């Protein structure tokens, strides 16, 4: 991947909540067509990095570029319009909207032009959503909400898909289904994915490359396979059960 400008480049980014520094000079890059995983313990700043990429909150120092555009200080909705779609921490389904409306919210960037064809793709990935189409988002189970959150992000036809803990709270079978879906989208459509995971084993197996984050800074990076084999990573994130 040398010589190529990455699709997403995060350089020396610092993010604060009030006076508390959550990100401490983070460097991460994601190339076109890659799946990149970010692993780390609770509170390491993984979700903060995801939200900082989307400008909510904005980075106080450093630089974020996407597709050659500096997006560091860009308003969140304009970043979204550059086709960075996120399935955020906590899923953030609109609780008083139906599944259909939630998906429509994802498709509103194109004024619903591609809604009918894209919704079929999402249903093919997550048939459960089709059964629930008129049900209110707030009444779905956690797993269904997770599928809806990912589906809603896909409806935006993203160039870069950010997934924050796609496996959280899901049954192992569904986790596998979701990871398979991500791999499939990456292979067939060249979708670029940047995902945050607690499930380090699954994520590193899925990803081409990975980063390890500790206390708001990236401490290790490498190919998914290398990180899986790394004794430090194994000790900290993998031993004690492949979740």
Partner 1 sequence: MQYFIQQLINGLTLGSIYGLIAIGYTMVYGIIGMINFAHGDIFMIGAFTALIVFLILSAIFYSVPVVVALLIMMVVAMIMTSLYNWTIEKVAYRPLRGSFRLAPLITAIGMSIALSNFVQVTQGPRNKPIPPLVTDVYNVYGISISLKQIVIAVVTIVLLTLFWYLVNKTSLGRAQRACEQDRKMAALLGVDVDRTISITFIMGASLAAVAGTLFLMYYGVVAFSDGFVPGVKAFTAAVLGGIGSIPGAVLGGLLIGLIESLWSAYFSIDYKDVAAFSILAIVLIFLPSGLLGRPEVEKV
Q: Does 101 bind partner 1 (CB under 8 A)?
A: yes
How many C-beta atoms surround the C-beta of residue 84 within 10 A? Answer: 25
User: Could you say which residues in the range 70-89 bind partner 1, by CB under 8 A?
Assistant: 75-77, 80-81, 85-86, 88
8 A C-beta contact, residue 179 and residue 152: no
Q: Does 96 bind partner 1 (CB under 8 A)?
A: yes
Contacts of 25 (CB under 8 A, 6+ apart): 12, 13, 14, 61, 62, 217
Span from 39-47, 92-100, 171-179, 200-208 in contact with partner 1 (CB under 8 A) = 92-100
Span from 9-17, 22-30, 102-110, 195-203 in contact with partner 1 (CB under 8 A) = 102-110
Half-sphere CA count of 156, side-chain side, radius 13 A: 24
| Nearer of residues 141 and 223 to partner 1, judged by Cβ | 141
User: Exposure of 106 by Cβ count < 10 A (0-12 exposed, 13-18 middle, 19+ buried)?
Assistant: buried
8 A C-beta contact, residue 145 and residue 104: no
Alpha carbon distance, N-terminus to C-terminus of the chain: 31
Q: Does 95 bind partner 1 (CB under 8 A)?
A: yes
Q: Does 150 bind partner 1 (CB under 8 A)?
A: no
Q: Does 210 bind partner 1 (CB under 8 A)?
A: no
Of 108, 172, 235, 242, which one interacts with partner 1 (CB under 8 A)? 108
Kindly state the smallest distance separating residue 220's Cβ from partner 1, in Å: 29
How open is the CA angle 114-119-123, to the nearest 5 degrees? 160
User: Could you say which residues in the range 152-171 bind partner 1, by CB under 8 A?
Assistant: 152, 156
Q: Does 106 bind partner 1 (CB under 8 A)?
A: yes
| Nearer of residues 91 and 209 to partner 1, judged by Cβ | 91
Kindly state the smallest distance separating residue 168's Cβ from partner 1, in Å: 13
d(Cα 210, Cα 169) in Å, to the nearest integer?
A: 22
| Nearer of residues 77 and 187 to partner 1, judged by Cβ | 77
Please give the DSSP secondary-structure letter assigned to residue 239.
S
d(Cα 10, Cα 100) in Å, to the nearest integer?
A: 34
Nearest to 182 by CA among 238, 133, 126, 108: 126
Q: Does 138 bind partner 1 (CB under 8 A)?
A: yes
Q: Contact positions toward partner 1, by CB under 8 A? A: 54, 56, 75-77, 80-81, 85-86, 88, 92, 94-97, 101, 104-106, 108-109, 111-112, 138-139, 152, 156
């Amino acid at each position: 991947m040398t010589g190529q400008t990455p699709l997403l480049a995060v350089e020396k980014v610092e993010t604060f909540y009030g006076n508390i520094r959550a990100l401490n000079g983070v460097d991460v890059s994601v190339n076109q067509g890659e799946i990149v995983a970010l692993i780390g313990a609770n509170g390491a700043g993984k979700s903060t990095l995801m939200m900082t990429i989307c400008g909510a909150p904005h980075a106080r120092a450093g630089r974020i570029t996407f597709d050659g555009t500096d997006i560091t200080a860009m308003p969140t909705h304009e970043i979204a319009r550059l086709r960075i779609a996120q399935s955020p921490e906590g899923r953030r389904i609109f609780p008083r909207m139906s599944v259909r409306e939630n998906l429509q919210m994802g498709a509103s960037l194109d004024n619903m032009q591609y809604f009918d064809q894209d919704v079929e793709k999402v249903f093919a990935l997550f048939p459960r959503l089709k059964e629930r189409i008129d049900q209110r988002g707030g009444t779905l189970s956690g797993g269904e909400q997770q599928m809806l959150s990912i589906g809603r992000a896909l409806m935006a036809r993203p160039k870069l898909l950010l997934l924050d803990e796609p496996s959280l709270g899901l049954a192992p079978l569904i986790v596998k289904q979701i990871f398979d879906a991500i791999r499939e989208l990456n292979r067939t459509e060249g979708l670029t994915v940047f995902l945050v995971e607690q499930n380090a084993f699954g994520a590193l197996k899925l990803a081409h490359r990975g980063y390890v984050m500790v206390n708001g800074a990236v401490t290790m990076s490498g190919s998914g396979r290398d990180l899986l084999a790394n004794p430090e990573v194994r000790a900290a994130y993998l031993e004690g059960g492949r979740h």
